Amino acid sequence: MSQVVVEISVSLDGYVTGPNVGIDNGLGDGGMALHDWVFHGTDADRAVLDAAFEATGAVVQGRNLFDIIDGPKGWSDEMGYGAKPTGEVNPPVFVVTHTAPEKTRLGDRFRFVGSPSEAVAQAREVAGGKDVNVMGGGQICHEVLAAGLADVLRLHLAPVVLGSGTRLFPADAAPSYALELIEAVSTPAAQHLTYRVVK
């Protein structure tokens, strides 16, 4: 049975983007620092990235993130999911939205569904027993966690304080849940923390 993994890079103060996010500024001002571990990390960082890529059978993301990824400065023809070259097999991506776009720049591996629960259910059907990876943005990650749909929370905690931006956890009251740390990998670029969501 596929497990649902919410996986996202986050600042020390809880932001998954910097301020002023836009179609041409997908991570917001200063937000690229959250992903230094992906592009400038150590062998240990690359091992974390490779393991997640190999374990993933399908991806869930929100519409705002999709619009950035599919936009002019989004994923390129040379780069796909998990910062891997698109020559490798890319998992199908389920985008949570109420309005599907008429066409996509990146082809037909994107499927559009109306809710996080629908996206998770459909992703599980095609994941082939591999993980369903909920990669963002912050709102979808939080919604999947709050709805009790996640089995694992994997945070890549970057050594940066962004001050504002998109929160992973909202400031307003939200459902609570317990976590159990099952793996921790420490590098200069990030603390890679994997938690089991206690059901």
Pair 66, 112 in one domain: yes
Pair 170, 122 in one domain: no
Pair 179, 198 in one domain: yes
Where does residue 14 fall: left (phi above 0), alpha (psi -120 to 50 degrees), or beta otherwise? left
Answer whether residue 12 is part of any domain: yes
Answer whether residue 142 is part of any domain: no
Answer whether residue 121 is part of any domain: yes
Pair 110, 72 in one domain: yes
Which tokens is 75 given?
A: 């994923």
Give the model's pLDDT for residue 110: 87
Strand partners, 79: 85
Domain that includes residue 75, residue range: 57-130
Answer whether residue 136 is part of any domain: no
Using one digit for the tens of pLDDT, what is the confidence trace for 152-188?
A: 999 999 999 999 999 999 878 788 899 999 999 999 9
Pair 61, 121 in one domain: yes
Answer whether residue 110 is part of any domain: yes
Pair 70, 107 in one domain: yes
pLDDT at 86 over 60: no
Give the model's pLDDT for residue 102: 83
Total domains in the chain come to 2
pTM beyond 0.75: the answer is yes
Using one digit for the tens of pLDDT, what is the confidence trace for 58-75?
A: 999 999 988 888 887 777
- Provide the CATH number for the domain around residue 32: 3.40.430.10
Pair 63, 119 in one domain: yes
Pair 42, 61 in one domain: no
Task: Output the DSSP codes for 142-176.
Answer: HHHHHTT--SEEEEEEES---SSSEESS-SS----
